[in-house]
Amino acid sequence: MNAQALKDLAQSSTISLSELRSLRNTCALNAEVAGLFDELTDAELNRLIDRLFTIVLESPAEGDECANARCALQCLCNGANRSGRFAELAWRARPLTVWRALIRDARLRLYSLAALTTLIRVDDAHTRAERSDDSVTQLHLDMLSLWTSEDEQHRSWIAAFFSHCFEDERFMEREFGALGDYQDVCLSVVNALLFAKDVQRTTNVHPENIRFCLDLLATCLDSIGSDADADHTDFDHTDDRLLLLLEILSSAAIIRPTFDQLLHSGTDFAPIDRAVAVLSAVVRSEADSSADDADDRLVAHWRSQSSRRSEVKQASLQLIGHLCSESPANRRRAGDLDALRLALHCARLQESDRPFQVQWAVLAVRHLCLNCPENQQRLFAVDRVPSCVIDSDRLLESLGLRAVVDSVSGQVRLAPLIDRPTDQRSS
């Protein structure tokens, strides 16, 4: 297919399925197709794009014409992948209401999601200014609604769509409040994208959107115990959101160096402070009621919500471990907040705890003590505290450490097990 053939398609009153397939395959396989599009004027390229949209929108419910519509959507998707000029003209060719209608059509949904996700990559501040805020929000709501009900193949395109959205540093600030009942679904998408980045390194969520999640965690904690949490429905909603936020921050903490300035700067301790505050309240809620924490809203909340306590406890442990894994400043700060004692408490599995809690607790202790003499000293001395009597030797061995007493100063330090002399190992 050459430039003249593209012009002929644009001028034709009808485009057959074979011609659509030829255009689709040319866009998919011919790396030079962008040059062919450049030989067309804006008017000619707009006519071609308009013909493709007309085929999609005028297709009947079934039969060959439905195949034409699917192939036309593939042409839009492949053409946009090859040519930025094609993508920009196609993105402006129809209002967002058309795309909202297309993704609701089950017979075309997969192809519509693919085309929409490809085209939105050219969306910028200028094109957003041309659209109403309400139309953009409604599209986001439709996509989030599909996220809750669709299969994994559709979800992969929806995730790619929001991956572009979250690259905008102000997306959460601008859109979150208008999402209503779908706010937590939006957080679920963020969580899924961060996990995908950790595994596949394919997603770029802007740090400012994670900062928004950190601030939202503070708001969530402040709301616990307030008048807004008057019934169990509110309790469940608060805990669901809290868990999502803990998981989001936990995933972000190990994506280096994207979020280092926010989570590992060594000057802003809000992330580790909030993680330890959650774990502290959960641990204290498991103990008998006392006058010391009678007025603590967090403790009272999880004392009444024991069914969700174990999930929150494990998620906060995981976040503390990840925040301290490569940050000496976070380790020292967490140690000052008694995080080591709290993690050791969680190393003893209770009946209601989650199965892998002990492993997360041991990992948190390891990260807290790694190259941190202050926390190592706290660990060695912990068996002197009556409320935390543990088998220190066994715990240290699980961490790959051993206690060593300096023969000159008498101070205790922790050393790797591999440094143990041969005669001591054999004994």
CATH assignment of the domain containing 43: 1.25.40
| Structural domain contains residue 194 | no
Q: Is residue 82 part of a domain?
A: yes
Q: How many domains does the chain have?
A: 1
Q: Give the pLDDT confidence of 258-289 residue by residue, as tens digits.
A: 999 999 988 889 999 999 999 999 998 887 65
In a domain, 49, yes or no: yes
Flag whether 44 is in a domain: yes
Domain membership of residue 126 as a residue range = 1-131
Amino acid of residue 25: N
**Domain presence at residue 244:** no
- 210 close to 259: Cβ distance less than 8 angstroms: yes
Q: What is the pTM of this model?
A: 0.84
Model confidence over 314-349: pLDDT tens digits? 999 999 999 999 899 999 999 999 999 999 999 888
| Any domain includes 213 | no
How far is residue 73's CA from residue 23's CA, in Å, rounded to a whole number?
11
Tokens at 91, concatenated: 């993105």
Structure tokens at 204: 């770029």
Whether 117 maps to a domain, the answer reads yes
In whole angstroms, what is the distance from residue 295 CA to residue 235 CA?
Answer: 18
pLDDT in tens, 348-405: 888 888 888 999 999 999 999 988 999 988 888 875 544 444 555 666 666 677 767 6
Identify the band that residue 88 occupies on the pLDDT scale cut at 50, 70 and 90.
very high
Residue 76 lies in a domain: yes
